[in-house]
A and B are shown apart, each in its own frame.
Chain A
């Protein structure tokens, strides 16, 4: 048991727990947040993506010890931002959601990409989102969604 302090969705948290626990389990079990999901547990699929200090990470591959003193935002926290609103609208309009299991991670990846590069081209979007797998869609609609978000939310990032 170790004391670990971090910020989760804007709120300071102190946990007394095993520092080897996966960030994903802590988010889902201790905070009942269901946005990040376990697709593979191997850091390959991106369904568990969260923002760590504004950058995308796969929370299944992050031991809790690594987030001591850091800032974590899940889709639940991100969904109250203006940027989320723009991305959400773009995904809904393009029809980028099918089964939806990858979607919160995909939105986190989009945020991470746009915050680094507000006007990505097709190739940069493909690279930026290549860590997030989707088995339902043909990906085109998602790429279209990211482009729409980049355009509609111009100035937000």
Chain B
């Protein structure tokens, strides 16, 4: 391969570095109306009255929008395919406000200052209600987060708002209780994972104008432009044909931009007034009024026989979706479906529980999407079981984990919101990942720890899997055309959000057409100009959209050969094409001459191919994560000395970008494992609402990352590729927890794992001994 599996620089890197106009706000019209949202100071309240007369009278205030301006069309902002597996439980604006930061009303004016002035003049009288803030007490609480009757589910997801339930799920294979009872070794442990904030550097941003065809044109920093178009159309009753959504360069998403944020208000204001408008979230709004990762409580029971074979897994999970149910069921299910198959030799497995509403910032999609929560619990529990059995945790995994060509019945049972799809692991190099990782971290030299006097160094590990798109639901498509002078335009619905998909997809097309990346001009994510794609989520782009690009390029190549065959008067299968020239016996024609001829001659013809792809399966990438941690014995202060990731993601289309994905995900995972924590006050107000109080890893927190890819070729992927966007985030929480255990014999079962928690636990144990 000449292009694929090479470190091609990003197709857009140079322009981005220079600061060229690229991101959503760079395209806002100069005199856009500014939209500002007045946000709820209460965790739960009903709006009694709004006095906005003096605000409306201000010079420069265009309009003030309240719930009374909108028809009550319940929708979900989740940004998923249709029908969504998330409840339709949100209105553009509502008379109830359900968390501190929820939307009360919108002020539209000519400047930030005037909007602020207007907001200061508006008087809102609330009936303050008792909020539900503890997710363990939410189910059947006397207070209902969603008391209204005009909300609904699109199909059965266990939605029961009268019990504060956004969704629920239950599955069991075999008889878990019976198998557990027959096991020689059993453990039962409860784990907690916290809310994590995405903290993408570019805040949520959207702007709109009406074009000369009287159509609504939105620029949006989104991961899902086609879903945005559909959801706006449905909720605001604007014909789909009247809306165009363009996604420019996106400054990071990580799942946070899968959902709708300011799009609904911006679309409405411009559609009604005919004037351009824009909305840029403040950093406080990004923290307080967008989304977090779903916090979960996971009760895990494991049972093994005397030989160390895992026989049963029981997982009772409670998830907190906050005030609205975006991604409630699907994130929940992934906590099982992309974790439990790791141990596929069990006789029985159960996964069940509820997703509840509370009066906190809603939870939504976030890289890892449930798998990181499930992984922390299961991979911690496995080490606890090993300790009880006095068995080496790596040996246990080697014995029990998924192997190549094997399967798990879970794939057929658990999909995302629906049933799943049966599949065999055509590629699963977990064994290589584990043995290589063990070598790279010098496991045998350190395990369980080395006592350095004041310091103690230990190692910990975990294995993980993810998916590659949602089978039979996610579609990607691509269109590719040949231009005169022999270069190509590649149009894809796939959504570049900084992960490098424009580069990777260009590489796939270039490889098929035997050309170089600079001859493939990519344009992505414009609902008018590019074919449909579900967007950037579920680790789908390289695999799903990549397959579509592969097919489209292959089809175009076939069209080109057909035309050349006409010129050569031969069979198209007899022609050789090396990317620059076509050959048949002694005849040859260059691609440039050929493309010019079919552009400027009687035989004029535009060659263009469009193709799409829906995966019949979702081949999981796998990885093993190993960490070496140094602890200060007295203070328990932790330093991650080295994080080793050995990944099976099939072929790396671009090894440099693939490494970037894994490294970046590891650092986000370490943040979640060690200090990131969305914190609320007792009355539900966010405390960690800025970058000072919500710490993300900086350069100083990262010592060494060692990332390697094992040889792997997934037949169903483009040039053998699987996905790599999410897998990296899953292992750090469990690996760190296991390293703490290996250092001190202390088990921390709630995230983040801080020095404070370790010390408290240490003292607790010491006091018990006394």
Contact = CB atoms under 8 A, between A and B. Distances in A.
Given A129-B699, A133-B691, A100 B283 contact: no
Interface string B668-683: 1000000000000000
A7 to B, nearest CB: 18
B660 A135 contact: no
Contacts of B22: 34, 100
Given A34-B19, A100-B12, A100-B22, A138 B280 contact: no
Given A37-B202, A42-B690, A139 B702 contact: yes
Interface in B96-153: none
Interface string A120-146: 000001110110011111111111000
A33 B10 CA distance: 23
Interface string B687-730: 00011100011111010110100000000000000000000000
Interface in A23-42: 33-42
A143 B704 CA distance: 11
Given A41-B283, A133-B691, A97 B16 contact: yes
Given A76-B18, A130-B699, A101 B201 contact: yes
Given A95-B657, A129-B699, A136-B498, A104 B663 contact: no
Given A39-B203, A41-B283, A136 B23 contact: no
B623 to A, nearest CB: 15
A38 B203 contact: yes
A39 to B, nearest CB: 5
Interface in B626-671: 656-657, 659-660, 662-664, 666-668
A44 B690 contact: yes
Nearest to A98: B498
A98 B500 contact: yes
Contacts of A130: 698-700
Contacts of A79: 17-19
B499 interface: yes
B26 interface: yes
Interface stretch (B249-257, B521-529, B585-593): B249-257
Interface string B1-36: 000000101101110111111110110000000000
Nearest to A136: B664
Contact of B663 (A47, A88, A127, A140): A140
B197 to A, nearest CB: 10
Nearest to A142: B699
Nearest to A106: B17
Contacts of B249: 99-100
Interface string B470-506: 0000000000000000000000000001111000000
A120 to B, nearest CB: 12
B499 to A, nearest CB: 7
Contact of A135 (B20, B280, B696): B696
Contact of A103 (B16, B25, B254, B500): B16
B498 A100 contact: yes
B202 A140 contact: no
B241 interface: no
A101 B283 contact: no
B689 to A, nearest CB: 10
Interface residues of A, number: 47
B691 A45 contact: yes
A103 B25 CA distance: 17
A64 interface: no
A12 interface: no
B199 interface: yes
What secondary structure prevails in chain A residues at the interface with B? loop
B282 interface: yes
Interface string A70-95: 00001110010000000010011101
B401 interface: no
A44 B7 CA distance: 32
A100 B13 contact: yes
B200 interface: yes
B690 A40 contact: yes
A41 B700 CA distance: 22
A102 interface: yes
A35 B705 contact: no
B664 to A, nearest CB: 5
Contacts of A149: none
A135 B702 contact: no
Contacts of B696: 133, 135
A91 B25 CA distance: 25
Given A34-B23, A93-B9, A135-B254, A42 B283 contact: yes
B17 A137 contact: no
Interface centre among A44, A101, A141 (most CB of B within 10 A): A101
A125 B698 CA distance: 12
A107 interface: yes
Nearest to B694: A44
A101 B667 contact: no
Given A37-B23, A135-B201, A101 B252 contact: yes
Contacts of B691: 40, 42, 44-45, 133
Contacts of A137: 660, 663-664, 667
A103 B17 contact: yes
A135 B657 contact: no
A38 B19 contact: no
A41 to B, nearest CB: 6
A116 to B, nearest CB: 17
B17 A88 contact: yes
A99 B19 contact: no
B704 to A, nearest CB: 8
Given A38-B280, A99-B252, A107-B17, A139 B26 contact: no
Nearest to B670: A138
Contacts of B657: 95
B17 A104 contact: yes
A120 B404 CA distance: 47
Contacts of A125: 699
Contacts of A104: 16-19
Nearest to B249: A100
Nearest to A95: B656
Q: Which of A88, A99, A102, A133 has the most CB of B within 10 A?
A: A99
A101 B23 CA distance: 8
Contact of A126 (B13, B26, B659, B700): B700
A101 B251 contact: yes
A134 B702 CA distance: 12
A141 B13 CA distance: 14
Contacts of B13: 91-92, 97, 100
A137 B699 CA distance: 10
Contacts of B662: 138
B201 A97 contact: no
B532 to A, nearest CB: 24
B237 to A, nearest CB: 34
A34 B664 contact: no
B248 to A, nearest CB: 11
Contacts of A38: 25, 203, 280
B19 A76 contact: yes
Nearest to B252: A99
Contacts of B16: 97, 100, 103-104
A99 B283 contact: no
17 contacts: A34-B21, A37-B25, A41-B283, A44-B692, A76-B19, A79-B17, A88-B18, A91-B17, A99-B201, A99-B249, A101-B498, A135-B199, A135-B664, A136-B664, A137-B663, A139-B663, A140-B705
Interface of B: 7, 9-10, 12-14, 16-23, 25-26, 198-203, 249-252, 254, 280, 282-283, 497-500, 656-657, 659-660, 662-664, 666-668, 690-692, 696-700, 702, 704-705, 707
Q: What are the 5 tightest A-B residue pairs by CB atom distance, in nearest-first order?
A: A35-B19, A99-B498, A138-B663, A101-B251, A100-B16
Given A34-B23, A37-B202, A100-B498, 18 more contacts: A35-B18, A37-B23, A38-B25, A40-B691, A74-B19, A76-B19, A91-B17, A92-B14, A95-B9, A97-B17, A99-B200, A99-B249, A101-B201, A135-B696, A138-B662, A141-B659, A141-B663, A142-B699
